[in-house]
Amino acid sequence: MAMKDGLKIIPKDDIALVEWDLEGEKVNKLSSAVMMKFQKMIAELKSSNFKAVVMISRKKKIFIAGADIAEIKDLNEPEEAKKAAAGGQQIFAELEDLPIPVIAAVHGACLGGGCEMILSCDYRICTDDMSTKIGLPETKLGIIPGFGGCVRLPRVIGLQGALDIILAGKSVIGKKALKLGLVDQLVPEAILEQQAMKLARKVIDEGAKKRKKRFSPKGAANAFLESFLGRPIVFSQAKKTVMKMSGGHYPAPLKAIEVISKTYGMSNRDLAMDIESTGFGEVAATSVSKNLISLFYMTEDIKKQNGVNDSSVRPRKIKSIGVLGAGTMGGGIAQLAADKGIKARMKDLNTDAIAKGYQAASKIWSSQLKRRRLDKYQLQQKLDLLSGGTTYDGFQTMDVVIEAIVEDMKIKQSVIGETAKHCSDNCIIATNTSSLSVTEMSKGHPKPENFAGMHFFNPVHKMPLVEVIKGEKTSDEVTATVFDLSKKMGKIPVVVKDGPGFLVNRLLLPYLNEAVFLLEEGHSIEFIDKAYLKFGMPMGPLHLIDEIGIDVAVKVAKIFHEAFGERAKPSELMAKVVECGRLGKKNGKGFYHYDERGKKGAIDNSIYADLGLSSPKSGGNAEEAVNRGIFAMVNEAARALIEDKIVDTAREVDLGMIMGTGFPPFRGGLLKHADTVGSSKIVADLEQFSSKIGPRFKAAAPLAQMGQNNGKFYN
């Protein structure tokens, strides 16, 4: 009873074992073609003599990854998208309405449409393996669950638990799924099929009972909030949280709240599903969804790449790394490596520094332990992979050494040369520099082909980007190895050519510089930062300068001024801020106040007097203020991409800016946003800014040329 594409019915006496193993695919996904075949299978099961169904996947660590995102990407009209969702809903309704009980046996990823499928089943069993994750990540793609997830999940696990998963696009491991009531049993992978068949037999013996488990508020932590009277409170609070987290820029979570509020408790399934499919259609056709899906493909493409143009180049296998420096960056890099199962040894000048590195790592893991992201055994495993000392002991066997010491070229060159003496000839040494030339630094290495840049962003365990910097003599094999190591450490790597500021910091500088110029012109800190927050940036530019360290920003600004000339000349106000003893978050005093834990407080209004500024303006043109900073970044991006070829594609610019600076994902990235605005409009505004404010806004030659016919970065 096999069907095409690896969807099979295997008779096991009076039980139908349905196997998912799509041919030619690494994962099981619910494309339109697969859904049609599944619908035919459901009809076959309905007319058969089977008394129960068990569904299982034969893919390694994958149950069903979800719907085919490529098909969602091509849905451009709300009615078209609604129709697609309604089609999936109908098939899962037919699954739910089978006259015999259906048991889902889940191992591995069960996401999106996969989760919606098992919600249509009578019973759910999953494995306790960490690869088993069940959830609805749709809002991360700018859509809502459209195959019944908004309707069924609240009925299975309750309103509060369902909102938590759907609004954040979360997935949960098996242990959490069991606690929520999302699954009925948790078993080891080795006995999953056996236990599912055993459950099917038990149900048959008890009279082949259908069972639609529905959440009952009785005994819930707060039954009132699940009640008719309590629900408005839950929905109101959920909306407030979404608005606070997203600024209202992402319509999908708000639409999900609307759909769930209308359908929760509704007895008419068809009407509830119609409300959901209508909501799905409304958000699936938005530019926000298209941009988030584009970002998804960007990150997926990274998984398939090796970081160089030659696909035959293979990265070296990395089992251990050394880290020079146990400070904020070095300690963070060592912790991250150990967290991902790579042995990491820190070296610093004294034991106090090493102890601080251990403490920082332990703090991160202890937090995960407290939130039950790992257990005590897993914590000990990670700690065992981390070591440190004041000598080069152990460096002889290291595959890679990452340097994260003071930003001084001569010191770095000296330390790199010294380190190379204590390592094997094949050991790769990478620098975590944020601004210094990798090519120049490689002169300190006896084998510059084994030297590269590996620029992490702070905080290391949170920021997803790593810039892999290829010096003039860096070999393709070394580049591919650092690229692959970045992925193994859970990061998104972007390969960049050596140059001042590489990619992200080079584009970020004019943005930050412009914010200080706005302050100098009399605009308030509140006005500047609020304008950019409204645009969608995760924090205002002046707040970001505080986070970076105002003294660091001044130092980097000088480097850029020397490299790029007058267009990168910083505001004189920047140095004055440091002269006033304001370093930002690190000493609790910057544009904002910070408490002893580094938590941001109110604006420090005394800064105006300290800088000799009069009382700031009460308002201003927010759109112009934002465009000054954003268009300055676009201008510099045109130079970096087209003139200097720091990266090869606009996609890499956008990936770097989203992952490295938090540029609003809903806008698709810096250059996707530029294409949306139009190069002609950007060039015209830059010309206006140039004549009114200063020549730093003069449109770069490649951008000016694009503007003549409103050309695009994305062709």
DSSP 26: S
pTM for the full predicted model:
0.92
The pLDDT tens digits of the residues spanning 515-574 come to 999 999 999 999 999 999 999 999 999 999 999 999 999 999 998 999 999 999 999 999
- Residues 419-454 have pLDDT tens digits of 999 999 999 999 999 889 999 999 999 999 999 999
Q: Tokens 């000839």: give the residue.
A: 425
Copy the structure tokens of residue 130. Answer: 């960490």
What mean pLDDT comes out for the span 140-147? 98
Residue 17 pairs in a beta bridge with 10, 54
Q: Write out pLDDT tens, residues 39-61.
A: 999 999 999 999 999 999 999 99
Q: Angle formed by the axes of helices 351-370 and 376-384, to 10°?
A: 160
378 close to 175: Cβ distance less than 8 angstroms: no
C-alpha torsion 525→527→532→538, nearest 10? 60
In this structure, what token pair is assigned to residue 574?
A: 């920047």
Q: What is the pLDDT of residues 605-642, one digit of tens each?
A: 999 999 999 889 888 999 999 999 999 999 999 999 99
Question: What is the Cα–Cα distance from 144 to 135, expressed in whole angstroms?
Answer: 12
- CA–chain centroid gap for 261, Å, is 28
Domain 505-708 has CATH 1.10.1040.50: yes
Catalytic (active-site) positions: 455
Q: Which two tokens stand for residue 381?
A: 């495993």
- CATH fold of 4-288 reads 2-enoyl-CoA Hydratase; Chain A, domain 1 (3.90.226)
Give me the pLDDT at residue 208, please: 76
CA 71, 73, 74, 78 torsion-angle sign: positive
Structure tokens at 280: 């799905």
What's the rounded Cα separation, in Å, for the pair 271 and 264?
12
DSSP-assigned letter for residue 345: E
Q: Which tokens is 622 given? A: 């927010």
What digits encode the pLDDT tens for the residues 193-221? 999 999 999 999 998 787 766 666 554 55
* Residue 9 reports pLDDT greater than 90: yes
Q: Is CATH 3.40.50.300 the right assignment for the domain spanning 320-498?
A: no
Sorted by sequence, the CB contacts under 8 Å of residue 412 that are 6+ apart come out as 403, 405, 406, 431, 433, 436, 441, 444
Question: Which tens digits make up the pLDDT trace of 352-401?
Answer: 999 999 998 998 999 888 887 788 899 999 999 999 999 999 999 999 99
> Taking the domains of the chain in order of start, what are their residue ranges?
4-288, 320-498, 505-708
Model pLDDT, residue 221: 55
